Amino acid sequence: MSDDFKKKNKEDFFINLESISTEILQEKIQDKSWIVVDTRLNDAYNGWKLDGVKRGGHIKGAIDFSANWLSVYSDKKDEVLEQALRTKGIDLNKNIVLYDANGKDALLVAEYLFKKGYKYLYKYDVNQWAENENLPMERYKNYQMIVPASIIKEILDGGIPETFENSKHIKMIEASWGEEKESYAKGHIPTSVHINTDIIEPPPTWMLDNDNNLTQFALNYGFTKDDTVIVSSSTTMASYRLAVILRYIGVRDVRVLNGGINSWISAGYELELTSNSRHSCTNFGANIPVNPQLIVTTSQLKQRLKERNKCALVDIRTWDEHIGKISGYTYYDKKGRVPGALYGHSGSDSVSLEEYRNIDDTMRNKYEILEMWNKESIDVNKQLIFMCGSGWRAAEVLTYANVMGVEETSLYSDGWMGWSLDNSNQIEVGAYK
C-alpha cells in the first residue's frame, strides 16, 4: 500500500468522521456496546469549566482519555496508553464517542485510535450537552483543590476565575527538596516563592517538624490563616506534601497545580527564572495547628488501630515495601509494615506514583481509584489514615481522596520510618495470612 493511498484514506476518514447527535448519545450512553470518552484535559473532566463550556465536569457515565496524554514524552508511553485503553474498556469492537469542546482533542484521539485499528468512532461537541441543564454532568466534590495551569495563568493576568471569588490574598509557592539551584532556578511558575521541604521536615530523619517550628515557618514565609495558596513543583509529590502541611497549620485555602510544572509547560506558558523573595509576617491569625486532625502521631495511630470498625490504615508503598521484601530507600534499611495496614498501591518505586496518576502526572480517574481500593477492602466510609515511607506519597493520595469527596482522612506523617525507628513497635512482614 503506497504512502499516498494511506494519506488519502486517513484524510477521508477524518472528513467523514461522523458527528453524533445529543439525542442519539442519550440513547446510547447506557448501551454496553457503546462507550463515551472525554478527550479534554483531565481538569475539565474533574469539574473545571474550561474552553467556555457552560458547566464543569463530565457527561455522566463517560470515561477519560485525554488528548494531552498523546503529547507526553516517555519511554513507556505506548505501554501506559495501551494499559489505559484496557483499564477503561475502550475496546476495538465497541462504538466509541469521543467528545471535546475545542474541536481538536477528539480528532487527536480519533487519529490515535484509528492507527490502532479502531473503526467505530464518532465525535461529539460537549457544549451541546452542557447547555442543557436537564442533562446530567458529574464533577468531583472538591475538584477545586487541584488547579489547571490555565486557571493560574488567568489569576496571574489579573483575572478572578471560578472558585477564587472569595480569595483576598493568593500566593504562589514552589515546593522542592533542596536549595533553589536544584530546580527552582531552572524555571518556575511566575511570582512563585521557593520553599525547601527540609524546612518543614528537617534531616536526618525528614519527619514533620514540631508545631512551634511550623509556627515560625509560617511567620517567616508570611502565611496567614486567611490566605489562598497554590503550590506547584517540578516533583509533584513535593507540592502535595507541603500543601497538606499548610492545611494542617491552618491556611484557609490550599490548592495544588494538577500535573505539576509540566502541565504549565504543556499549556504553552513561559517559566520564570527570577528568584522571588519571601515576605515575613508577625501574626498567623490563629494558634497552630488549626486542623490537628489532619496529622496522626504514632501514639494516636496505635489507639486508632484498636478501632478497626471505624478507621483503616492505608499503606501507599510498593507491594515489595509493604511485604517487607525491600525498604524502598537507599538510606534506610528497615523492612516491613505496620500491623493491620492495608495495601493501598503506589507505583514502581518510592519516588513514583503511577497507579494514582495519568501519564501526564495529573490525578487518575476517581472511579478507577475507588475500584482499586475496593479490591483491597479499603472502605471509604471509614476514616482513612494514609501512610508511606515518610509522608510524600501518602500526602498526594490523601489530597486525591479529598478531591474525590472522601473527607474523613488523616496523614500518618512519620510513616514507616517513624514507626520502625522505635524498636518497641511491632512489625509485620510477608503476604497476608
**Does the structure show a pLDDT above 90 at 433?**
no
> CA geometry: angle at 417 spanning 173 and 199, to 5°?
25
3 Cα distance to chain centroid: 41
With bands split at pLDDT 50, 70 and 90, how would you rate the model's confidence at 205? confident
For 296-420, give the CATH class.
alpha beta
State whether residue 292 is helix, strand or coil: helix
**CA–CA gap between residue 396 and residue 257 (Å, rounded):** 12
The residue ranges of DSSP E strands in 274-367, in sequence order, are 311-315, 342-343
At residue 251, what are phi and psi to the nearest 5 degrees?
-65, 130
Give me the pLDDT at residue 206, please: 86
**Same fold? 3-138, 296-420:** yes
What is the pLDDT averaged over residues 291-303?
A: 96
**What is the predicted pLDDT for the residue at 16?**
63
Q: What is the mean pLDDT of residues 143-156?
A: 98
Indicate if the pLDDT at residue 384 is higher than 50.
yes
Q: Please report the pLDDT score of residue 2 as a whole number.
A: 44
Confidence of residue 12 (pLDDT cuts 50, 70, 90): low
What's the topology of domain 3-138? Oxidized Rhodanese; domain 1 (3.40.250)
* Span of 4-13, 337-346, 361-370, 393-402 with lowest mean pLDDT: 4-13
pLDDT tens-digit map of 396-419: 999 999 999 999 999 999 999 999
Grid cell for residue 372? 482499586
pLDDT at 99: 98
Query: DSSP 3-state assignment of 63?
Result: strand
Residue 28 in this model has a pLDDT that exceeds 70: yes
pLDDT at 1: 41
What residues contact 388, with CB distance under 8 A and at least 6 apart?
315, 316, 317, 346, 350, 394, 415, 416
- Quick one: which of 12, 66, 72, 6 has its CA closest to 41? 66
The CATH architecture assigned to 143-291 reads 3-Layer(aba) Sandwich (3.40)
Residue 170's SS3 state is strand
Average pLDDT over residues 130-154: 98
Instruction: Answer yes or no: is pLDDT of 4 > 50.
Output: no
Res 287 pLDDT > 50: yes
pLDDT, tens only, 97-127: 999 999 999 999 999 999 999 999 999 999 9
Q: Once rounded to an integer, what is the mean pLDDT over residues 40-51?
A: 98
User: Residues 167-195: what's their mean pLDDT?
Assistant: 96
Enumerate residues 6+ apart whose C-beta is below 8 A from 27.
none
Q: What is the per-residue pLDDT for 204?
A: 84
Mean pLDDT value across the chain: 94
- Place 324 in a pLDDT band, splitting at 50, 70 and 90: very high
Domain segments of the chain: what residues? 3-138, 143-291, 296-420
3-class DSSP state for residue 294? helix
Give the C-alpha separation, 61 to 63, whole Å: 7
Average pLDDT of the segment spanning 349-365: 96
Q: What distance in Å separates the CA atoms of residue 106 and residue 112, rounded to the nearest whole number?
A: 10
Please report, rounded to a whole number, the percentage of residues in the chain having pLDDT higher than 70: 96
Q: What is the DSSP string of 360-407?
A: TSPBPPHHHHHHHHHHTT--TTSEEEEE-SSSHHHHHHHHHHHHHT--
Region 165-187: what's the mean pLDDT? 95
The residue assigned the cell 520553599 is 195
What size, in residues, is the chain? 433
Q: What's residue 432's pLDDT?
A: 75
Q: C-alpha grid cell for residue 383?
A: 476514616
Q: Is the pLDDT of residue 393 over 70?
A: yes
